[in-house]
Structure 1
Amino acid sequence: MEHTHNTRRLYQAVGMGLALLIGESSVQAFELYADDDTRLSGNFLAVYGMFNSRKNYDGTQGGSTWREGFIKYGVSLDQRLGGLGSVYGTANQVSSGTWGDGDASGVTTGSERTSKFDEAFAGWRSGELFPVLGTDGMDLSFGRQVIMLGDGFIINDDGTNLGKGVADGEFNRGGAYYLAARHAFDQTALLRLGGKEGVHGSLMWIQSDNRAQANTEMAAGTLEYSAAPGTLGLTYIHGISVDERYANDLQKQRAGMNLYSLRGAGNAGIENAHFAAEYAWQDTHIGAQNAWYSEAGYTFASLPWSPDLTYRYTRYSKNWDAMFSGFNRGFGTWVQGEVAGNYAGPFNTNAVIQHVALKVKPAQAVTLGALFFDYQTVSTHGMPNLNGRELDLYAEWAVNEHLIVTPLLGLYKPERDQHNDGNQVGGNGTNVYSQLTVAVPF
């Protein structure tokens, strides 16, 4: 049977991870109206998840069972302007909630419900107006939108969604903490130059309205070169301000901070291989911090189920600020471990993490995966000891073009518990964590 174009795109999204489905609006869109110059699309995505953790990480005994969900709905418009390029825009509302006990880290209570705009932005693309820049070589946009730099190691989106479990609800963003229902930055101005091939870059101003991110304001620029073997990129970020009423000690460093990074990704001309690396350093008023990773993988395309094996080494210095890192490229980036990365820690700071991933595709619509993580704390001086290991087993199944089912089982074993410099309640035995997420895109 021949698959539709939408189904093929969903199979591609499943192969790379559910995160791409949630973040990529083109996969969610359905056409409302189209002619030679105008395209009006409706956007709809519903995601629901059921979660259970036998142990907690918020100081309370027992485990937690909870549910999360959100519905994203809105419209997108693309209008050609003849020889003057095209204008575009998107407006998406998100309704979200958490039910049950709240999550295992205690940042949600199960009573969160909110409906708010997430994306609301407009832009202009240059078309063929500047031939030296290529087709659509200038792209200018403003408003509430998702901005990602590189593969999200430093800035992925504004996806931290805390609930009422922190500071008497002061940081509540409406629940769906794990699913990260909202991703857009509140105010942005973004200029992209040069398209996606050869030399290209961007300049941007970003303002968050997320109290969990201390309402951070920053400016950034990127310069990249892309060719067949891969992409090399430079990033510069300058922190402008934070709201100190909500900032933790690391976030307070963002005002006046300068951050630099050098990154690369691609196959280096080796068929079926994939490599990625990034080195970043933060220059702050209390001194320099750094974080880096190096990753290599290979897809054994001639073997049954095309197994893909990846190894990654990541190091975050003691006072590295994780910034706006988030779920990107599927499980393990940059939420490193479903239990550790979401609930137990480490949370992309003060840690060395070794990661091995194996993925296979027994069918076009199905991906099976196993993820192993080893966590070592960089410094325990005045800090919790979060040494441990985790194994996650998951499946991603595109039942049809409007239904994706993703079960996952996590086994997390810390070296310490809450009585011995760790934070797992009820001993340092293995926590069994399970979840089932269902996504309904149109």
Structure 2
Amino acid sequence: MRTPHYAPLLSLVALCAFEPQAQGYELYNENDGGTVLNAELWAGFGWFGSSENYLGDPQREPGSMRWQEGFAKYGLSGTTDQIAAGSIYGGFSMISTGSWGDGDAGALTAGNERETAVEEAYLGWKSADLIPALGTDGVDFSFGRQIVTVDGFLITDDGFAPGNAFNPIEGVADGRFNRGGAFYLGPRLAFGNTAVLKLGGTQGLHGSLIWLKSDNPGQSKTEVAAATVDYTTPIGSIGSTYVRGLDVEERYVFGDRGERKGMDIYSIRGQGNAGIENADFAFEVARQEKRSGSQRAMFFDAGYTFADVKWQPTVSYRYTRYSEGWDFLFQGGFRKRYQGEVAVNYAGSVTSNMQINDVLLSVMPTDKLTLNAMAFDYHQLSRRGEQDFSAREVDFFLDWMVTDNITLSPLVGFYKPEKWLGNGGNQSGSASTNTYFQLIAWVSF
């Protein structure tokens, strides 16, 4: 069985970020915002092409693939402070997803996936000024199906969305891991069941207690508990995360996923400008304790925006390193900053046994147009009989807000692996440069 690979990962710092989200259409507003009900729509459709594929099957033809992905998320959200103390908020949404064409170049979708299901269904309570020592809304408790994100790279969301072609268990091809397509777009972000308690607001000393139960077969329906503590000032924050693996569903266990039960993860992280105007820094150092031993991962990111220069160019550098048996856990989807396009999504696992250097250049000719270029160097730390995913990649992409509700995001990338399927790599046919393109249209109301 070849090493499986995963959806767009590692949402670290929002330097070049574009994250289209539902803005909300106000249906009801009473008492000047005391009670508000919004209708929300977020949708996307993408056209994708790759001149090479990573199917990992010598019997399949090497060469180009073309496919499409789409989704629509639609629902209601609201809040009210017309109660005895604090305010109540909540939301409910459905999501429809699909993939068409050849299926993706990494053999996760077959192009025949379609699914409509509940995405979010959650309720929450905020304390307002009920507990002055904790500040305004110093207690925030929510539960249900919702998106949960922790600063750093351990828990971003539950966005991994394989399809019918994803068969990580030897001899299993029954579609049990199918999540309805739209693998690259990855819009199924909510965890199946959650309980989240946040204390202390967002400034000074604050923290959280979290319980998550994924209903994602591609995540082996992992259940975890987590705790965070942070200290935030105007120039940045420093914090720590602890994650305890509680359980997995054996029917969906593959690779080392069985070790998630009983796994402990500890991390120290930070982000901010360190008092340097227009600068941006972030880091995290994490350690996993599993039955098979200790694993480590870390990243460091530094960027600067030339705010007084025409087009406000941003330059940043990021270094990332994962040890050989690192478990990527819930490192997320299409948000903030990528670890690459072809390498992360299709060409192999870059979230273990890998060292990555990448550089970003971003400029804004107008407030509605952002141009970006990124270069990546992937160096596999150890072969030890595994496939070698060492490679280089360059991506050029832009985000153009055509209207307040429609954004276009075209991209072209060039990926050059050191190895191919015939000599220890994963690219079919040869180790020649793969030309990859995509065009995504985002709609939000």
TM-score bracket relative to the smaller structure: over 0.9
Q: Structure 1's 325 and 15: CA in aligned 2 closer, same or farther, altered over 3 A?
A: closer
| 1:75 counterpart = 2:81 | no
More helix by share: 1
| 1:32 counterpart = 2:27 | yes
For residues 340 and 348 of structure 2, the distance between their equivalents in structure 1, rounded to whole angstroms, comes to 9
Q: Structure 1's 149 and 328: CA in aligned 2 closer, same or farther, altered over 3 A?
A: farther
For residues 405 and 308 of structure 1, the distance between their equivalents in structure 2, rounded to whole angstroms, comes to 21
The within-5 A match list for 1:230-269 is 230-269=236-275
Aligned to 1:51: 48
Displacement of 1:331? 3.7
Q: What is the one-letter code of the residue matched to 1:396? A: D
Q: What is the one-letter code of the residue matched to 1:404? A: T
The partner residue of 1:277 within 253, 267, 283 is: 283
Whether the 8 Å CA contact 1:83–1:129 is kept in 2: the answer is no
Q: What is the one-letter code of the residue matched to 1:87? A: I
Aligned to 1:6: none
For residues 215 and 90 of structure 2, the distance between their equivalents in structure 1, rounded to whole angstroms, comes to 21
Displacement of 1:129? 0.6
Aligned to 1:116: 117
Displacement of 1:181? 2.2
- Unaligned runs of at least 5 residues, structure 1: 1-13
Displacement of 1:83? 5.0
Q: What is the one-letter code of the residue matched to 2:239? A: G
The partner residue of 2:207 within 193, 201, 209 is: 201
The within-5 A match list for 1:206-225 is 206-225=212-231
> CA RMSD for the aligned pairs?
1.3
The partner residue of 1:346 within 340, 349, 353 is: 349
Displacement of 1:382? 2.4
Q: Structure 1's 286 and 15: CA in aligned 2 closer, same or farther, altered over 3 A?
A: closer
Can you list the C-alpha shifts for 1:232-275, whole angstroms capped at 9, x where unaligned? 11000000011122122321111001100000000000011110
Q: Secondary structure at the match of 1:156?
A: strand
The within-5 A match list for 1:85-104 is 85-104=86-105
Displacement of 1:394? 0.3
Moved over 4 A (4+): none
Displacement of 1:378? 1.2
For residues 441 and 106 of structure 2, the distance between their equivalents in structure 1, rounded to whole angstroms, comes to 22
For residues 88 and 274 of structure 1, the distance between their equivalents in structure 2, rounded to whole angstroms, comes to 32
Q: Secondary structure at the match of 1:186?
A: strand
Displacement of 1:301? 1.3
Aligned to 1:337: 340
How many pairs were matched up? 420
Amino-acid identity (%): 46
Whether the 8 Å CA contact 1:189–1:204 is kept in 2: the answer is yes
Can you list the C-alpha shifts for 1:417-436, whole angstroms capped at 9, x where unaligned? 00111000010000000000
For residues 335 and 23 of structure 2, the distance between their equivalents in structure 1, rounded to whole angstroms, comes to 17
Q: TM (normalized to structure 2)?
A: 0.92
Whether the 8 Å CA contact 1:298–1:309 is kept in 2: the answer is yes
Aligned to 2:155: 155
Q: What is the one-letter code of the residue matched to 2:130? A: L
Aligned to 2:330: 324
The within-5 A match list for 1:324-403 is 324-327=330-333, 329-332=335-338, 336-403=339-406
Whether the 8 Å CA contact 1:277–1:292 is kept in 2: the answer is yes
For residues 80 and 105 of structure 1, the distance between their equivalents in structure 2, rounded to whole angstroms, comes to 48
For residues 44 and 104 of structure 1, the distance between their equivalents in structure 2, rounded to whole angstroms, comes to 29
Aligned to 2:164: 164
Q: Structure 1's 16 and 391: CA in aligned 2 closer, same or farther, altered over 3 A?
A: closer
Displacement of 1:16? 4.5
Whether the 8 Å CA contact 2:48–2:68 is kept in 1: the answer is yes
Whether the 8 Å CA contact 2:16–2:362 is kept in 1: the answer is no
Q: TM (normalized to structure 1)?
A: 0.93
Whether the 8 Å CA contact 1:374–1:389 is kept in 2: the answer is yes
